[in-house]
Structure 1
């Protein structure tokens, strides 16, 4: 019997006065966060939420996110985190599909009315019985007619609650995938999935008690930030400096003054930070504190690895994972030299293999196959989707749908998504390889490669490019340049320049929008 909330409770017991969360000029200790989480758990139990019930949470990176998250799991319930950018229709779908009994939702702003959309979705969802509006400050009345504020619901409630213990394989969280095929599916992650992941991460990165000061730039609703920053960070009594909305200039100022030692991001985060630097940026001060920098989501272009290392003296450690794997599958070895393009080696307790189209295991280096995974990180399955679960969990292995290769030292390289593969005239073109080459052009700031329909070839290679400020580059010039560096079937015949590439909340290019 165990509970994911042990991560918070252990640090609150051993380091009660240690700062757990920083938001703007306010600090909360581990004792503060644990006490508030107990109040939330007591509220849920008092409102009829039973162990195993699902409870939804839509909140940016505020102190309330970890408080409510751990309050939900303390009560034995299952947290369903949502991205605050989700539309009303998406929220309604998440509530209905998960069978959520309660919903904690941030009020938002006039420009981003998260609360109004959330309350409307709640009213339209049968079975969701409780709605709590998270406000930025204590308010006497709710800004939304008919909605109870969390402050009102918690008023007078003491921080007294005994955590409900659960079985290791009981669900702790349901996280919805991006839905690249069909509607989003809820990946069920267990208490043991997330607890073992936090312990593995801290062991691998050499974290200790009172270990790090994290700058949290990715949304905690995403499994990467929740695991690497929140769960692993709380397990080591680290301090989380929350940034509700990523702005590279604000992030750099915090890195200068906040003695940040730990940063987890995706390639576009690091790209934005490097591009936001000016002559006034105190590079030496940032470098003097920075201990670890992690990246996932996509392979880091070499210029970003070199630029970050040159400025801040830290080699960005790259990893590969997915929601269904809690999320980490492979990771760079700390202390090893950077291997650009590599996502590292399997983490502790996890097996990885490559298979061909027939499902046969691929041996030997540098052969491309689908990546299969098994270990403590693999989800229990998709919520209420037995057919989809059976499709990806076969013979004890998680079939990722990603293509990869392995070098002679056992380091893995992610080639691309199976579904992103471009087949041009019968030849396989991996968009990520083309993107990596384009990113080495001195005038290219960001690139995304997609396949577009072609009557003769089936698909043609198209590059959508953001040029660096002040750079002058034409479509034909970039095509000619890439032709010299890529095989004849790989280089893009179509190039489009744009001011920005649409990105997901975690910094991935939204290629479906580019293809429209």
Structure 2
């Protein structure tokens, strides 16, 4: 009977205990414990935060090195002190560290809490670092868990590491798109984050219960397991009490709300655009990059952390190339990094040892290693499959449920590639479709596209200049004010208004304002000699100039409208100057005339006038709105530009590539534009990192300035994915992709006034111009005689189309715009067809790709046949010692001879044998007659080498730096006085002589 009674009493007691404990949980939210938290004092209080300093009563003597602990936005500051005995602050204090904790409070009870944005948190942390430094007289060790670690990184970058001794983070992702929960494809996450930021969290905040639920859903197996374990042990109070504080914290007490603006910025900047990784995130209109962090970093990694996945956390190594980055890994999930047995035994002791080591008070912690850079393939997270399976199976086995999420990543990888590949097409197709819909009467212009972007995302970032962000709303308001000033000054639609300005926001505003009125912006070159010619060619009525160019503009005799520098600057004017200061016009007082309609530009109408230099003289290029749109949408499609890109504009605004491709492509793609004052290698390296530049524009030899400079600071790690432009030589192309791996080059060719745009999208054939972009003109090569400069007809009177690898004149099928302008040729390949000629000669290879061989006016017509200059220049550029090269023709006694001039790198001269080897793929009868090494080759404002001065100097003087071509032997020989005399008489000399070095003058 006693046995039977015991068998009954035991289960009854268990039921009673379960009921009693359960009732206590229901009434009080948990079991009552005698566990207390660590003592602290709030030493600083602001509307944004309260700063706790722990154990102030226990201090004796000088405090240890200070560490500031930052919680995530959605979690209470008590995460660092869940229990007094095992919390972070107590462990650190025992090791002699002075712990401070940031408490952001709860947004729903703090004044203005729901209006907080991301920058408010970062600036608050920056202010706290300043405060602690003043209070302690020591640099601060800044630490943060999860998003708190992201805040720590951002604040350190914002301060450029000032007063920060080291950074410590726990499961804080940097490359957010590299490791997303559930294996979500980056393309999907980016698009979803953009949508949620713009349309959901701009109106909605995240309450504490939503944050708690979201966190638990990220690891549903662990959440379910914890709840089941708690219920199964509810009868055993003694077993539950040690973990009760932690359970209550996770279940209810530890969660606080997020303000909508802060969530929106988090989604947009660090998930949609991944700017923790690329740089260029914005804190209160200031552009910041983690590349500016120079303080040592320790990042804790959870081996089974599916929230702060190792591959995402390790992104800090690439994002902060100037910092010494270390890691410490432990077998824990996300929350286990900071709370629980693993944190008590590993995370916090290691943190204390790290602080003491950095302070010179101890050795390097045993569990800290230099962060390794894993070769992670797309779709991998850094959490090994074995770890994930073991961790998940162990969890679900305790609950008796099926294995699901732990293996789901295997399937998610299969769709990731498909989604990412389709993303480019998703962006490109609407742009190409819009191009196809443009008719002569369609309203399309630069200002109209800017207005569209402003309506879509008023707070979106339009451009960055001098480290300051200008949003669509701010820029749009500035453009509207400039419009009123221009109208007040007499500017009307179709008026030709010159723009003479350096690279600055006001220049962009001036061009956009003229477009908004429907006037024609004439982009004037800031060259005193060329300016009067450009003003006359452009039929300019008045000039908009910045303060630096006012005097130059006044010299043209035209009325000058001064713009730029703001209302506070003083404009120095001399007597007799006809200058109107647009900054002094009260825009609000201007009454808009009845004729004004914003953005009236039609596709067929003239929008811009640009200038190019050819053979030392200016050529006018008239750009319609359609031609601008063609280049803008074509560039955006070919470069796959979107809102996550920052496009770096190195060329001045008056250069065709700047307005048509760089600015046009960025506006059409919704990308951010980074304007730079000038090409400066040191500034280039700084701004690429700080702005998070993903696409760099170039022209001709521009990137040579960057690659040759010692001041360039890209550290081999950079956010650039693409260089876009035209005129890059194969040698410079190879140097660029070698130096900026894994970035690629997208080389364009565009007829300035026609509709022909070629692009080498794949980049596989270096030096090739590629194929026509979809939506641009169909192209053909017409047989062409470079001697007579005429098209070659067949027996039926039509122009013969070139065969593969035959050199011909590039023609583009004429659209309605070309026909309206009267520049089309008819009856070329068929009766009634219409084609627009370009100025350039190409060949088409067997794959259908086009290669530029020359401008039709620079072909050297020698007695032995045409000599095409571009293949020769490209070949010389590949010779190891050659820096710049040009090939040009000079007339000597009625005969045109080809001269190749080159500059060299360093000391010594290139070997003739190397040059001959470089020419090996070119027929000998198309080699230059003369090779000469010169002291310098002028480079124009577009960075294109110019032969004008060398051509004017005539035949090079004899000497060891000059060689001539002996056709009989197919070699270059020394150019002596006797040989020069024969050339001067218009005769070639072919005496045999061995070849050697240009420097030695060997036989």
TM-score range for the pair, normalised by the shorter chain length? 0.7 to 0.9
User: Do the aligned partners of 2:825 and 2:836 also contact (CA within 8 Å) in 1?
Assistant: no
SS of residue in 2 equivalent to 1:66:
helix
SS of residue in 2 equivalent to 1:325:
coil
Distance 1:376 1:197, change over 3 A: farther
Q: How does 1:153-302 map to 2 (within 5 A)?
A: 153=585, 162-180=597-615, 184-208=618-642, 210-276=643-709, 281-284=714-717, 286=718, 289-296=719-726, 298-302=727-731
User: Do the aligned partners of 1:188 and 1:381 also contact (CA within 8 Å) in 2?
Assistant: no
Alpha-carbon distance, 1:502 to partner? 1.2
Alpha-carbon distance, 1:107 to partner? 2.8
Which residue is 1:373 aligned to? Answer: 812
SS of residue in 2 equivalent to 1:434:
helix
Q: Once superposed, what is the RMSD of the aligned Cα atoms? A: 3.0
Q: Report which of the two has the higher share of strand.
A: 1
SS of residue in 1 equivalent to 2:554:
helix
SS of residue in 1 equivalent to 2:453:
helix
User: Do the aligned partners of 1:355 and 1:371 also contact (CA within 8 Å) in 2?
Assistant: yes
Q: How does 1:395-474 map to 2 (within 5 A)?
A: 396-455=834-893, 458-468=895-905, 470-473=906-909
Tell which deviates more after alignment, 300-309 or 196-205: 300-309
Distance 1:249 1:398, change over 3 A: farther
User: Do the aligned partners of 1:309 and 1:316 also contact (CA within 8 Å) in 2?
Assistant: no
SS of residue in 1 equivalent to 2:532:
helix
Deviation string 1:443-470 (CA, Å, 9 cap, x unpaired) is 11111111122348x22222221211x2
**Alpha-carbon separation, structure 2, partners of 1:278 and 1:244:** 17
Distance 1:377 1:141, change over 3 A: farther
**Alpha-carbon separation, structure 2, partners of 1:494 and 1:163:** 58
**Alpha-carbon separation, structure 1, partners of 2:689 and 2:826:** 44
Which residue is 2:332 aligned to? Answer: none
Tell which deviates more after alignment, 408-417 or 141-150: 141-150
Which residue is 2:938 aligned to? Answer: 502
User: Do the aligned partners of 1:3 and 1:74 also contact (CA within 8 Å) in 2?
Assistant: no
User: Do the aligned partners of 1:315 and 1:338 also contact (CA within 8 Å) in 2?
Assistant: no
- State the number of aligned residues: 487
**Alpha-carbon separation, structure 2, partners of 1:278 and 1:445:** 19
Distance 1:27 1:117, change over 3 A: same
User: Do the aligned partners of 1:35 and 1:159 also contact (CA within 8 Å) in 2?
Assistant: no
Which residue is 1:346 aligned to? Answer: 772
**Alpha-carbon separation, structure 1, partners of 2:746 and 2:534:** 33
Tell which deviates more after alignment, 230-239 or 159-168: 159-168
Distance 1:313 1:459, change over 3 A: same
**Alpha-carbon separation, structure 2, partners of 1:167 and 1:342:** 34
User: Do the aligned partners of 2:651 and 2:942 also contact (CA within 8 Å) in 1?
Assistant: yes
Of 55, 61, 86, 2:497 maps to: 55
**Alpha-carbon separation, structure 1, partners of 2:461 and 2:533:** 37
**Alpha-carbon separation, structure 2, partners of 1:499 and 1:10:** 51
**Alpha-carbon separation, structure 2, partners of 1:303 and 1:103:** 38
**Alpha-carbon separation, structure 1, partners of 2:772 and 2:506:** 34
Q: Report which of the two has the higher share of helix.
A: 2
- Gapped regions of structure 1 (runs ≥ 5): 109-113
Which residue is 1:321 aligned to? Answer: 750
Distance 1:140 1:329, change over 3 A: closer
Q: How does 1:19-38 map to 2 (within 5 A)?
A: 19-38=461-480
**Alpha-carbon separation, structure 2, partners of 1:393 and 1:52:** 34
Q: So what's the TM-score if we normalise by structure 1?
A: 0.85
Deviation string 1:71-94 (CA, Å, 9 cap, x unpaired) is 00111111111122x22x532333
**Alpha-carbon separation, structure 2, partners of 1:325 and 1:342:** 20
**Alpha-carbon separation, structure 2, partners of 1:279 and 1:215:** 16
- Gapped regions of structure 2 (runs ≥ 5): 1-441, 784-790, 794-798, 953-1003
SS of residue in 2 equivalent to 1:316:
strand
SS of residue in 1 equivalent to 2:927:
coil
SS of residue in 1 equivalent to 2:684:
helix
**Alpha-carbon separation, structure 2, partners of 1:377 and 1:344:** 25
User: Do the aligned partners of 2:525 and 2:531 also contact (CA within 8 Å) in 1?
Assistant: no
Alpha-carbon distance, 1:237 to partner? 2.6
**Alpha-carbon separation, structure 2, partners of 1:473 and 1:185:** 37
Deviation string 1:219-260 (CA, Å, 9 cap, x unpaired) is 121221112221221233322111122123321222233211
Alpha-carbon distance, 1:313 to partner? 0.9
Distance 1:184 1:439, change over 3 A: closer
Deviation string 1:113-152 (CA, Å, 9 cap, x unpaired) is x32121110x2xxxx5x42123445455422323233312
Deviation string 1:351-400 (CA, Å, 9 cap, x unpaired) is 11111132513243111101111356976788xxx7xx578999632211
Alpha-carbon distance, 1:179 to partner? 4.6
User: Do the aligned partners of 2:491 and 2:519 also contact (CA within 8 Å) in 1?
Assistant: yes
Which residue is 1:111 aligned to? Answer: none
**Alpha-carbon separation, structure 2, partners of 1:368 and 1:340:** 19
Of 531, 535, 540, 1:95 maps to: 535
Distance 1:280 1:341, change over 3 A: closer
**Alpha-carbon separation, structure 2, partners of 1:435 and 1:390:** 32
Deviation string 1:46-105 (CA, Å, 9 cap, x unpaired) is 333221111111112211121111100111111111122x22x53233333333232101
